[in-house]
Chain A
Amino acid sequence: MSFETSMARIEEITSRLEAEELDLDAALALFEEGIAELRAASAFLATAESRLKQLNESAAGVFKVSDLRA
């Protein structure tokens, strides 16, 4: 689950909760999902150091991403 997908889902959930008259069960299920997505997004944002990588391709056309010293 990418940050982008998480954020998109969070936005969707929030706007549905704001705009729609959902029954309580549906609303609670959405809240629960929203909280999970918020956790995932926060975990992504907890990364404090970017890493520089390099794409390498083997003769067989297999890609590997390895560390590259900045």
Chain B
Amino acid sequence: MNGRRRGDGRSPSQSLGELELFTPDPPPRRAESPRTPSRAARQVPPPPPRVPVVEDAVPGATAAAAVSVMALTATARDVLEGAFPPLWVRGEVTDFKAHRNGHWYFCLRDGDAQIRCVAWARDRRIPASPDDGMQIAAFGQLTVYPARGEMQFTVTRMEAEGDGLYRKALELTRARLEADGLLDPRRKRRLPRYPRRIAVITSRDGAALRDIYAVVQRRCPAVQVVLVSAAVQGDSAPESLCYALDQVARWGKADALIIGRGGGGREDLWAFNDERVARALAACPIPTISAVGHEIDMSICDLVADLRAPTPSAAAEAAVPVQSELRERVRLYADAMGVLSAERLARARSHAAGAADDLSAAVVRHVDHGRRDLESAAGRLNALSPLATLERGFAIARDRAGKTIRSVRTLAPGADVDIVLRDGVASAKVDAISATRPVTQDGAGGVS
């Protein structure tokens, strides 16, 4: 971390006026290392070559050899830094102030003693800011702030009692996500029942990938496991995980996503508590399963994902069905369809048989109907029959050939005729003929 600060480029004088109590910015590192008191001594500007007395050669030994304030504070800093390796210091936090430039300033107190502390924004690896009154252990370097000539503890890590800082960080992140509705249970999507392809965001070399693959291979080898590799721990992990989530979204060919890693220390798992990762996970277009560490580890990603699995293996169990069960399911459907089709055909057949019965009944009805029609027609026919006329007392004259005589013109006196009456035929001979009206073309007429 010293290396990053070295290229800072800012000089203390640029920012001296910003804050009254403390150094407002990390001081630029001097290029030399390691620092030792003897080296610092060499930095002291040589006294003016006035009188070549032995004492004059020792800086500060005489008024003439007085050292500058700058040299004094610089030397004091080098001495302190050389004498104290980075170390943990325990105390109570007071006067905490987060400056708008991101740096933290506070005091650590213990009884009557106190030490001013600074935690530079870029150098600290602290999950959340401590609160005043919190008992903490701070890790850092004791140094001198030359601008004020004060001893200062530059803090890079911090632990509070009972994981206070981690809890606080989690609570803050959780509250922000909750405020945006990202923890709403109604957001939880159902996992696909039959995924074809599972994307897995994890480390390429981690145990999580192997565990997930082993479970998929055992349960449902038809499902493809596609690794989208990402760093799962370290400073770059949150960004790497966000990038992988973005890739999964843009790729768009996976049916579900498992994001996670195997077990590890709290700091190893910390990337999965990162708010950016949680938000990227919430925005994932496909259903997500979070599997971070072991069963007892609970992460912010677990809260945001559609399903929280206690381990990567459990995530794979939840993600893919058992292939043999699927086969059984398909077989059951095939059976059901077979039965249904047989039933449907049987029904069609019986329906056809019923239709045939209906048809013959219809034919019978039709024939009966026809018969009734016939009878009625016969009745009407009978009414019109000349025989009926005979019944009413009329007679028909026929010649001997049996032809009806319709006009006297076909007759001559002496011709033989038969007179047909209702109950018999009388044979007669014509005596005389007289026409009662002019003979018409149709020859209507008869014997009366």
Residues of A within 8 A of B (CB): 2-4, 7, 10-11, 13-14, 17-18, 22, 24, 27, 31, 34-35, 38, 41-42, 44-55, 57, 61, 63, 65, 68, 70
Whether A7 and B227, one on each chain, are in contact in the complex, defined by CB atoms closer than 8 angstroms, is no
Instruction: Name the residue on B nearest A50 (C-beta).
Output: B221
Closest to A37 in B: B333
Closest residue of chain B to A31 (Cβ to Cβ) is B341
B210 near A: Cβ within 8 Å?
yes
Cβ–Cβ < 8 Å partners of B216 in chain A: 50
Q: Which of B187-195, B258-266, B282-290 contacts A (4 or more CB under 8 A)?
A: B187-195
Q: Does B348 contact A (CB under 8 A)?
A: yes
CB distance from A15 to the nearest CB of B (A): 10
Interfacial chain B residues near A47, Cβ < 8 Å: 221-222
Q: Are A51 and B348 CB-contacts (below 8 A) given A14-B333, A17-B340?
A: no
Does the CB pair A14–B340 fall under 8 Å? yes
Instruction: Please tell me if the beta carbons of B251 and A3 are within 8 angstroms of each other in the complex.
Output: no
**Are A44 and B222 CB-contacts (below 8 A) given A13-B337, A49-B217?**
yes
**In the assembled complex, B213 has its CB within 8 A of some CB on chain A:** yes
Are A3 and B196 touching (Cβ within 8 A)?
yes
Nearest CB on B from A7, distance (A): 6
Chain B residues near A7 (CB, 8 Å)?
A: 193-194, 329-330, 333
5 A-B residue pairings within 8 Å (CB atoms) = A14-B333, A42-B327, A47-B222, A55-B251, A70-B210
Contact of A17 among B221, B247, B344 (CB under 8 A): B344
Which chain B residues numbered 312 to 352 have a C-beta less than 8 Å away from chain A? 323, 326-327, 329-330, 333-334, 336-337, 340-341, 344, 348
> Complex Cα distance A10/B340, Å?
13
Contact A52 B225, beta carbon cutoff 8 Å: yes
| Residues of chain B contacted by A42 (CB below 8 angstroms) | 327, 330
**Chain A neighbourhood of B169, CB < 8 A:** none
* Contact B250–A61 (Cβ < 8 Å): yes
Closest to A7 in B: B194
Give the total of B residues in contact with A, Cβ under 8 Å: 41
Q: Kindly state whether residue B158 has any CB partner on chain A within 8 Å.
A: no
Asked whether B93 is an interface residue with its Cβ less than 8 Å from the other chain, the reply is no
Given the known interface contacts A47-B221, A50-B213, A54-B227, the answer about A38 and B340 at a Cβ–Cβ threshold of 8 Å is: no
| Neighbouring B residues of A27 by C-beta, 8 Å | 341, 344
B224 touches A50 (CB 8 A): yes
Question: Which residues of the other chain, B, contact A2 by a CB distance below 8 angstroms?
Answer: 194, 196
> CA separation between A27 and B340, bound complex, in Å?
10
User: Judging by beta carbons under 8 Å apart, are B194 and A4 in contact?
Assistant: yes
Bound Cα distance from A36 to B36, whole angstroms: 83
Q: Which of B193, B194, B226, B248 is the one whose CB lies under 8 Å from A53?
A: B226
B337–A35 contact, CB under 8 A?
yes
A46-B224 Cα distance, complex, nearest whole Å:
14
For A2, A11, A17, A45, the residue with the greatest tally of chain B CB atoms inside 10 Å of its CB is A45
| A41, A50, A53, A65 interface centre (most CB from chain B within 10 Å) | A50
How far apart sit A51 and B222, CA to CA, in the bound complex (Å)? 9
A38 contacts B227, C-beta separation under 8 Å: no
With a cutoff of 8 Å between Cβ atoms, the chain A residues found around residue B336 in the complex are: 14
In the assembly, what is the distance between CA of A61 and CA of B246, in Å? 12
Task: Tell me which of B247, B255, B326, B344 contacts A55 (CB under 8 A).
Answer: B247
B269: CB under 8 A from chain A? Answer: no
Question: In the complex, what's the smallest C-beta–C-beta distance from B253 to chain A, in angstroms?
Answer: 8
How far in angstroms is the closest Cβ of chain B from A37? 9
Instruction: Report how far A3 CA is from B193 CA in the complex, Å.
Output: 10
Residue of A nearest to B195 (CB): A4
Closest 8 CB pairs of A and B: A47-B222, A50-B221, A4-B194, A53-B226, A17-B340, A3-B194, A54-B227, A55-B228
B210 touches A53 (CB 8 A): no
